[in-house]
Amino acid sequence: MPKVSIVVPVYNVEQYLRQCLDSIVTQTMKDIEIICVDDGSTDCSGKIIDKYAAADRRIKVLHKANAGYGAAMNAGIRLAEGDYIGIVESDDRIAPEMYETLYEAAVNHDLDFVKSDAYYWFEKMGYKKRVHDNSLNAVYDQVLGEDERNIFFDFFMNIWTGIYRREFLLQNDISFHESAGASYQDNGFWMQTCFYAKKAMWLNEAFYHYRQDNPEASVKSTSKMMVMTKEYEYLEKTIKARHQEYLLPYVYAMRLVRLKGTFYRIEDEQKYDFVSQIKKDYAKYKAYIKYNRYIDNWMRKLLRSPKKYCDNLIEKKKNVKNRIVESEGVIIYGAGKQGDIAMRILYNEGLYGKINCFAVSDEPENVLLGLKDVLKVEKAHERYPDSLYLLAVVPGTKAYSDMRERMDRIGVHDFLQMTDFLEKFNYI
């Protein structure tokens, strides 16, 4: 019996698949099985996994007709024989010590699941950024039980940075929603693991490289307007069938939170129609986000005048993009968290090539960020005098004021700021 079974759902990923599999077969933990589920690929993905299986007896391959991500994952889990089950998306990669470290923690603390952090990973520009919430530092590396269940939902939402006890999944009938052709079936699986785990842990380490530069990734889809709503309808139906209504507040609160992400992700022309879904859900579930002022305020603002809100949003997005496209290039002033977000938004909008460099107020600690130079702001202005500046810092902070003063001194008075991006452009 292997210690860990790793399920890899595969569908038309020939460009990335070898790199993914190489990162799994070279794990420092050797007692693993690798279950590759080919969900009806029409490219060379099926041949690639067959070749790997011929060279490594730990690899099992299941070729099946295309039925969607959820069906592929459930098929892989049914084949698994390991004590714990891990998941790796076939366009991502993992660090060599990932499963050895996770398994040791799981066994030592008798955990239902253990997770870690991830990196946002842009292979094409040689860049990765760790996803970590400093506000949760006190509960990293701690065994969390049922009294801490609310905290489970505060960590980065994903299903692939950890391992799950196989018996835990089976005993609680945790599986994926099998909706053919849909996306986001990981939402229901993630919530169920958080519902039922009696002991869990998040390690203050990062092993998983979450690819951001695959244009075919489902998370980048802008056309599936109702998929997220259907996923939460499925989850609600499942919970009611189990007579576990006490869990429904989690479902309803997360359903509303995810509506906001969907609103920004879908095509602009779909936003007008999607407002009706937001209005319906808000009327029904608003009590569950009473203390989430950020989401509650956003929804009330949108619903006060939906057409005006959408019109303004779309017009502002258009104006911002036009300014960038027509510029001599962009200097992102700020190389911290906000600068990272600005760069990812520009990348997702196909505007990464417009970035001239990053600028900072003091001598830079790093000379490159995402293959772009990091320069002291005065030097950046000297090198790219006609650039459009993006002030990548939270407005109203001391850092914002200090950066504005420096820009005034070098003669920069016209610029974009983060409020021109946040609440307008989708980013992962």
Dump pLDDT digits (tens) for 323-365: 999 999 999 999 999 999 999 999 989 999 999 999 999 999 8
Mean pLDDT of 96-115: 98
Q: Provide the whole-model pTM.
A: 0.93
Asked whether 422 and 416 are in contact (CB, 8 A), the reply is: no
pLDDT of residue 420: 87
- 145 falls in which pLDDT band (50, 70, 90)? very high
Say whether pLDDT at 297 is over 80.
yes
Sequence-separated (6 or more) residues with CB below 8 Å from residue 298: 260, 423
- Give the tokens for residue 13: 């990923």
HEC readout, 112-175: CEEEEEEEEEEHHHCEEEEECCHHHHHHCCCCECHHHHHHHCCCCCCCCCCEEEHHHHHHCCCC
- Give the tokens for residue 403: 């950066």
- pLDDT per position as a tens digit, 220-232: 445 567 888 999 9
pLDDT of residue 92: 98
- 428 falls in which pLDDT band (50, 70, 90)? low
Cross-strand pairs, 376: 360
pLDDT of residue 220: 46
CB neighbours (10 Å) of residue 249? Answer: 12
Sequence-separated (6 or more) residues with CB below 8 Å from residue 346: 324, 330, 352, 354, 355
